[in-house]
Amino acid sequence: MTLPCIGVFDSGVGGLTVLKAMAEQISAHYLYFGDTARLPYGTKSADTVARYAIGAARFLEAQNIDLLVIACNTATALALPQITHAASVPVVGVVEPGAQMAAEVSQSGSAIVIATEATVSSHAYRDALQRHGLQAFEKACPLFVPLVEEGWIDHAVTEQVARIYLGEAMAASADSADVLLLACTHYPLIAPLLRRITPAHVKIVDSAESTARVVRGQLLEDPPRGEAQLSSNHPGAASSDHRTFRFFVTDSVEKFKRLATGFLGRQVDHVEHVDLGG
């Protein structure tokens, strides 16, 4: 059986949560590209983000991928149509899957979206949720990313910051929201902390997990080369015996290895430095 080859693109390490979620459900060959030399994307124009993302997509396509996952919220929000048009393989972003799952689980028709400043400013999740009939209350949480990258996953400071952010978000929604949508790929790492301090009636939707579900469904419907090894059961389906991982970064290999180990919960090897220029 030939396993599919899935390319995963992000501006840095956050997209590793998407990779981890997919690897738990799908046995495949995974190629991860982190454009670590040019992050953050949130400070750059839409045209620049599109140019960088298309360059990364073409690099991954040259490695013979069957499907491309844009695991970067900023790139998805600002440039998904351009990336999809430029790519010669199917492309999945992270915004629509998260909005779709939020719509499925919400009963009140109202959701809180927490994300970076750039993603909130793009209103990509607000627009996607509105297409699914949900009212969105967006809250930028700029301190979460540096706290996660510092490794303060369950730190008292992180909890205090989260209580402030979520308190403000819940107040803005007049407590009507029954979904908390994690619209940044760093945030799944603090999901247990967020669960502890979020009202019990509020469901937490993880855009990384939602994206993995969409990719899994797409491969089941249209296997690219042979069949992906998928279980009929939900998560934990894929056999770790068949997965392979390669990582490409545009900046420090050692720094990526250190951060990636925390994100994936496993030792990360096979990291290669590449220079796309521009």
Q: Which of 207, 236, 255 is the last residue of a domain?
A: 207
Segments of the chain assigned E as strands: 5-10, 29-34, 67-70, 91-92, 110-115, 135-140, 179-182, 203-206, 244-249, 271-273
- Regarding whether 159 and 121 lie in a shared domain, the answer is yes
With a cut of 60, say whether residue 17 has pLDDT above it.
yes
184 is catalytic: yes
Give the SS3 label for residue 269: coil
- Regarding whether 56 and 118 lie in a shared domain, the answer is no
Torsion on CA atoms 103, 106, 111, 117, rounded to nearest 10: -50
Q: What is the pLDDT of residue 233?
A: 43
Residue 30 lies in a domain: yes
What are the φ/ψ torsions at residue 169 (nearest 5 degrees)?
-65, -45
Residue 43 lies in a domain: yes
Percent of the chain scoring above 90 in pLDDT: 83
- Regarding whether 69 and 51 lie in a shared domain, the answer is yes
The single residue of 184, 194, 208, 212 carrying the catalytic annotation is 184
Q: Which of 207, 231, 258 is the last residue of a domain?
A: 207
The single residue of 56, 68, 72, 166 carrying the catalytic annotation is 72
**pTM for this model (two decimals):** 0.92
Residue 278 lies in a domain: no
- Regarding whether 99 and 178 lie in a shared domain, the answer is yes
Q: pLDDT (tens digit, 9 = 90+) per residue, 198-239?
A: 999 999 999 999 999 999 999 988 877 544 455 444 444 455
For CA atoms 259, 113, 25, 244, give the dihedral sign: negative
The whole domain housing 138 covers 95-207
